[in-house]
Structure 1
Amino acid sequence: MTRFEVTYAEQACFVCGQKNQDGFRVSFILDGDDGIYFNVKIPEMYQGYDGIVHGGMISTMLDEVMANCFFRRGIDCVTIEINVRFLKALPVEKDVKVVGKIEKQNSRFGFSTGWIEDNTGTRYAEGNGKFYLIAEDSDEVIIRKSFLENNESNNKNQEYK
């Protein structure tokens, strides 16, 4: 089992950021050439209906794993769209595995799938996503890094154009 540690600037990420004290701080595990997964137990505070994980939290977990399929290849990306199908109510406090696989990619876009399952293989949700891939030598990377640096040092009222 090889772990994939997140090393980019967004250490405050709600799901994977190791510096986010209120987040999940998950560690990714490599799964073949095109996939990753992480194990998680979603606490009661993220329920929608009584005892059931909120659908927004399920969508967040799927978005995270699908995007990080590209990060593991060293490619920055941002989510363009995700589609989620809720198959079965996911109880809070249940140990689950969140899995992501790359389906295809070209120079600008990546497509991946993801699902949430328990240790018996029962699937609770599945999804697919389209991601804008940011080239390493692109001005977008410089803009993104600059935004992150400025955002940390400036007050909340500053406008970004």
Structure 2
Amino acid sequence: MEIEDNEMCFACGKDNPIGLKLDFELKDDVVKTTFTPQEVHQGFMGITHGGLLSTLLDEVMANLLYLQNFKAVTAKMEVKFRQPASIGDELTISGWIKREKKQTVNTAAKIVNPKQEKVAEAEAVFIKQNS
């Protein structure tokens, strides 16, 4: 499978009209982005949908690899939800590499709220794709 970016990614694609349009910054081997969920992103009233939080975690880990010139796709991801994320709160999402092997990369990520409380965290295994 060839991995190609056409700017339509739901999370970071600039051409996706319903996308989240996330911007990522890589600094000191950690990638970060921010996102402020709106009412259309809720599950229960006033609470960000857990599937969206999972998407944010996956995307920050994927972009961590992309920004470091890895071509890789998510093979497995485990998410732990720590507390609800309120609609309207700016969330900070961070990701980093835990370990690199010949064919895989193990990553981790977290989401914190404005009080720096952990909302959710994840670990994932990405499979490297042939260049």
Task: Please state if 1:84 is matched with 2:84.
Answer: no
1:10-34: CA deviation from partner (whole Å, max 9, x where unpaired) = 41001101111111111101121x2
Count of aligned positions: 128
Map of 2:125 onto structure 1: 130
Give the CA RMSD over aligned residues.
Answer: 1.1
Kindly, what percent of the aligned residue pairs are identical? 28
Structure 2 runs not aligned, ≥5 long: none
- Distance, in Å, in 2 between the alignment partners of 1:27 and 1:116 is 15
Flag as ranges the 4+ runs of structure 1 deviating above 6 A. none
Report if the CA contact (8 A) 2:22-2:34 is conserved.
yes
Question: Which SS does the other structure have where 1:129 is aligned?
Answer: strand
More RCO (CA 8 Å, sep 6+): 2
TM-score, length of structure 1 as denominator length: 0.76
1:17-28 aligned within 5 A: 17-28=13-24
TM-score, length of structure 2 as denominator length: 0.92
Task: Please state if 1:15 is matched with 2:11.
Answer: yes
Question: Which SS does the other structure have where 1:57 is aligned?
Answer: helix
Report if the CA contact (8 A) 1:75-1:135 is conserved.
no
Q: 1:105 aligns with which of 100, 108, 129?
A: 100
Q: 1:67 aligns with which of 59, 62, 84?
A: 62
1:66-104: CA deviation from partner (whole Å, max 9, x where unpaired) = 111111111111111110000001011210111001111
Task: Please state if 1:50 is matched with 2:45.
Answer: yes
- Distance, in Å, in 2 between the alignment partners of 1:9 and 1:131 is 17
Decide which structure has the larger Cα Rg and report it: 1
- Distance, in Å, in 2 between the alignment partners of 1:120 and 1:49 is 21
